[in-house]
Amino acid sequence: MSDKFDVIVIGGGPGGYAAAIRCAQLGLNTACIEKRINKQGKPALGGTCLNVGCIPSKALLDSSWKFYEAKNKLADHGVVVNTPKMDIAQMQKRKDEVVLQLTGGIGALFQANKVTWLQGSGKLLSGKQVEFTPNEKGDAQTLQAEHVILAAGSVPIEISVAPLKDDLVVDSTGALEFTSVPKRLGVIGAGVIGLELGSVWARLGAEVVVLEAVDTFLPVVDTQISKETLKVLKKQGLDIRLGARVTGSDVKGKKVTVSYEDGSGEQSEVFDRLIVAVGRRPMTGELLSQDAGVSLDERNFIYVDSQCRTDAPGVYAIGDLVRGPALAHKALEEGVMVAEVIAGEHTQVNYDTIASVIYTHPEVAWVGKTEDEVKASGEAYKTGVVPFAANGRALAAGDAEGMVKFVVDEKTDRILGMHVVGPQASELVQQGVIAMEFGSTIEDLQLMVFSHPALSETVHEAALATDYRAIHVAQRRRKK
């Protein structure tokens, strides 16, 4: 094996593998270091997202929703099903097959693009040197690169009041591997991960209690959208308790007792399983030598500029290691950007048009500013909100909960934010992303012809509603 490369990427997740492939496409001799061993005992690319995050969780979300529909919704369509049963082993088998298909596909892409996959751990030394320690027995080797891209990702945060314990107290990875449906499931954290995993097991029959320390539900989400989301999820059976700060946990036998404080004082609940989903932290601990020249902030994120350059010349950092939302698509685009910057091209990620999604049902998705943020800035603005209940396609599908909302600059007519809770929100929000990326006005969307019947008509109606022009909902003009 050569010990010199044009580019060495440390980390084979969405950001790392995309960076490696794009570097290779641009003619750079590229190596990607990845240490992950999958549950089958084999080396695996794809990082957290493909192996124990985005992809397996969506597989379980889809499987559990199909079961929920069969049990609770198909009769409305005239589809009569005997009492459905869930085969958890088959559900997990399918999930694992999806993961293996996608992670194996990245390996094939590496071969096709002539990316060298180094299976082991990487550590940045000074002078763009990388210490590579193979997974298999063998001595560490020092590699040299013209450029290094740090893409090691993040890991779940552990908390002292609820230490992980076997399959009883688990993080997000463990929550993907339950072999049976717990009768009572506790979830610490009402963020994206907690809500998605809680939804999976609630649909399959678990009594789910979500404990969230802060008093506000989904504080990063537009208030109108978060209120609607909370209402819908509670109706689905999720017991979401806000202002509930966990103070301790105790495992006895096969039960977990969780102590917490809320507005009424000390409380406790007993669960069969407990998921700890309080966020993630960057994997910078063993990634950098002391003389690597890379600066960290107070939370151990790597400091970078707008094109992901670190303080060390020729060294870049992307994805969950750096500022911004911990999103796979953000990491991937940063990886592509860095590869092109290295190759001498001028590329820039527009961080103002990165959408976020929560894959509950209905989905929640947003891009840009919330109404609260715009209001606080003092800018003159207008909003348009239309419910899916006014949409023919949503009603025909029996999936009409939620709404689409636009926040628009009243002076320039530019779209400041788009917020959706409802069916296919993850797809619909991309219409707002495209509009904002091209600097469209809300009038541009108003003048477009949308297919009928389609869920996206709600996007059109919400755009029209910003100027009191919506056809299919009654609107009152707000007082100036």
Active centre residues (catalytic): 452
Residue 375 structure tokens: 């209001």
Q: Looking at the chain, how many residues does it have?
A: 480
Q: Which residues pair with 248 in a beta bridge?
A: 259
Q: Which residues pair with 386 in a beta bridge?
A: 404
Q: Contact, 409 vs 416, CB < 8 A?
A: yes
Amino acid occupying residue 191: G
Q: Contact, 426 vs 410, CB < 8 A?
A: no
Helix, strand, coil percent values for the chain (each to nearest 5): 35, 25, 40
Residue 276 structure tokens: 């700890």
DSSP state of 13: S
Kindly give, in sequence order, each residue whose CB lies less than 8 Å from that of residue 112, ignoring residues fewer than 6 positions away.
none
Kindly give, in sequence order, each residue whose CB lies less than 8 Å from that of residue 215, ignoring residues fewer than 6 positions away.
242, 243
DSSP state of 84: -
| CA–CA distance, 339 with 16 (Å, rounded to integer) | 10
Q: Contact, 154 vs 15, CB < 8 A?
A: no
DSSP state of 205: T
Give the CB-side neighbour count of residue 259, counting CA atoms within 13 A. Answer: 9
362 preceded by a cis bond (ω within 30 of 0): yes
Pairing mode, if any, of strands 141-150 and 315-317? parallel
14 preceded by a cis bond (ω within 30 of 0): no
Strand blocks (E) in 66-160:
116-124, 129-134, 141-150, 154-156
Q: Nearest CA to 314 among 5, 7, 3, 2?
A: 7
256-294 per-residue burial string, b: 16 or more CB within 10 A, e: under 16 = bebbbeeeeeebebebbbbbbbbebbbbbeebbeeebbb
Task: Identify the helix (H) or strand (E) that includes residue 332.
Answer: helix 328-342
Q: Which residues pair with 409 in a beta bridge?
A: 381
| CA–CA distance, 414 with 11 (Å, rounded to integer) | 38
